[in-house]
A = this chain, B = another copy of it.
Amino acid sequence: MAYLQSMPKCETIEKREKYIGAACQLFFRSSPLKIVRGIAQFMYDETGERYLDCINNVAHVGHCHPHVVEAGRNQMSLISTNNRYLHDEIVVLAERLVNTLPAPLSVCFFVNSGSEANDLALRLARVHTKKKHVITLDHAYHGHLTSMIDVSPYKLNLPGGPEKPEWVHVASVPDVYRGKYQYTRDSNCEEELGRLYADEIGKICNEASQENGGICAFIAESLQSCGGQIIPPDGYLKRAYEYIREAGGVCIADEVQVGFGRVGSHMWAFETQDVIPDIVTMGKPMGNGHPVAAVITTPEIARSFADTGIEYFNTYGGNPVSCAIANAVLDVIEEERLMERANRVGNHLLSRCEGLKHKHRLIGDVRGRGLFVGVELVTDRETRTPATVEAKHVVNRMREEKILISRDGPDSNVLKFKPPMVFTTQDADRLVDTLDRVLLELGGDWMPMPNLKLEVRVTPISNEVETSEAVIQSSMKQGVKAM
């Protein structure tokens, strides 16, 4: 692949150090990867080495999907101007997105990034409610903009991080493994845990409504990503939303990382919690790498915004190329039945990770929905002490095995998997088998479990690049697996 670079890697590094702000950090800083090619769930470095990409939730329908590339190219060669002119691509995209959402979410604003989307969402909330206080979740990350750092404890909590504004209130993240209320310790009932966490929102609402300003909004990812791949307990968002609405605030679902079918069972992750937000933001996967994002809200909130008389103009937002590309991404999700695949492959990945947990003491928790999976490493299952160093080692070892994963959470001890949606069960098996080996290297804490089950998992075949024989062979190679 050397022909896909214009200079040797050492020179790229040298120029990067010279010309790009050091605050822009590289993966694998001591030995960064130079990536020159991407196909589906694979990325290639300048030597032609192939990596299985388990973290790129932006390349949603697969790196360089030809249908998306073609749509971009076609529209780029026709017209790309701003949305002060009429164009079909933008209205088609808007209608299609609205059709994936429950009523009354039906009015769209197109922007260029998830950060811009969340910023606009807060503006809409402020204009609509005329209120002040915003509730966010601990460890949440909603974007790199000034206004988003204000509501992102993921940044605010850092040493040297900016100060939290007084109008921002941080509620505990509904993490039933490591959070304030834990499964088993505090309750064996998920709904009870959901209530406990949601009641914190209620408490903040009460306090803030007594203060000057009132509750403007609650912003939360439907499943928290940077915070450590958190799956909230059943009933959490429903009850939290009730508190917010009672207080006169609006509910913003940040679907930037987890939307567009990643959870498999639904197009939008908030649907897994059986709620309807007032404002939904979406981004990353929307353009398969192209900078496009959106805010979708109710006619009432959109009307409040328009009634200010102040135009909302976003130069590139909703341009025909961005919209054509986003439409092509929707085409692929539908045509290649990627939600069904996310469900199937995600369940396979999750259950295989569960299997690993029964084998390796280092794994404290396994959680996920579809192709959004977290594996939390701990040095001690009782104390749940984060295995941060081990997690770092695992990520680096996996890279040596040509598998790209990363880690997150406040203690950087949660391995995260959020691969392109074309990920196959074979890929999942390769990921888990390799992880198994890497964890074994870390020490002899093999843990024979009492209820070992013989399992040869044969996954039903769809349009993915695998045959039943391949699947069986793969499963046979894995042999006996702990469930």
Q: Which A residues fall within an 8 A CB radius of B?
A: 4-7, 9, 12-13, 15-16, 18-27, 32-38, 43-44, 56, 58-59, 63-64, 66, 68-69, 72-73, 76-88, 90-92, 94-95, 98, 106-109, 112-116, 119-120, 122-123, 144-147, 155, 158-161, 283-284, 289-292, 297, 302-303, 305-306, 308-316, 318-319, 321-322
Contacts and interface: CB of A to CB of B under 8 A. Distances in A.
A90 B144 CA distance: 20
A13 B308 CA distance: 22
B312 A21 contact: yes
Contact of A290 (B4, B86, B314, B321): B321
Contacts of A84: 25-27
Contact of A35 (B64, B85, B305): B85
Closest 4 CB pairs of A and B: A19-B94, A80-B289, A15-B91, A22-B306
Contacts of A88: 5-7, 12
Contact of A22 (B16, B27, B123, B303): B303
A315 B58 contact: yes
A21 B306 contact: yes
B106 A159 contact: no
A29 to B, nearest CB: 10
Nearest to A93: B19
Contacts of A21: 107-109, 297, 302, 305-306, 312
Nearest to A114: B315
Identical chains in the assembly: 2
B109 A112 contact: no
Contact of A64 (B22, B59, B76): B76
B81 A289 contact: yes
Among A80, A311, A314, the one with the most B-chain Cβ atoms within 10 Å of its Cβ is A80
A15 B321 CA distance: 19
A162 to B, nearest CB: 8
A113 B116 CA distance: 9
A277 B25 CA distance: 25
Contact of A284 (B108, B146, B315): B315
Contact of A83 (B24, B77, B90, B284): B24
B16 A310 contact: no
A96 to B, nearest CB: 10
Given A16-B91, A86-B12, A306 B146 contact: no
A32 B76 contact: no
A464 to B, nearest CB: 22
Contacts of A122: 146
Contacts of A68: 76
Contact of A316 (B16, B113, B303): B113
Contacts of A4: 78
A282 to B, nearest CB: 13
A109 to B, nearest CB: 5
A106 B17 CA distance: 11
B64 A78 contact: yes
B85 A76 contact: no
A143 to B, nearest CB: 9
Contacts of A20: 83, 90-91, 94, 107-109, 318
A79 B19 contact: no
A147 B284 CA distance: 22
A420 B313 CA distance: 20
Contacts of A159: 309
A93 to B, nearest CB: 9
| A63, A291, A309, most chain B CB atoms within 10 A | A291
B15 A312 contact: no
Contacts of A161: 308, 310
B15 A94 contact: yes
A85 B116 contact: no
A116 B114 contact: no
Given A23-B306, A73-B72, A303-B22, A81 B58 contact: yes
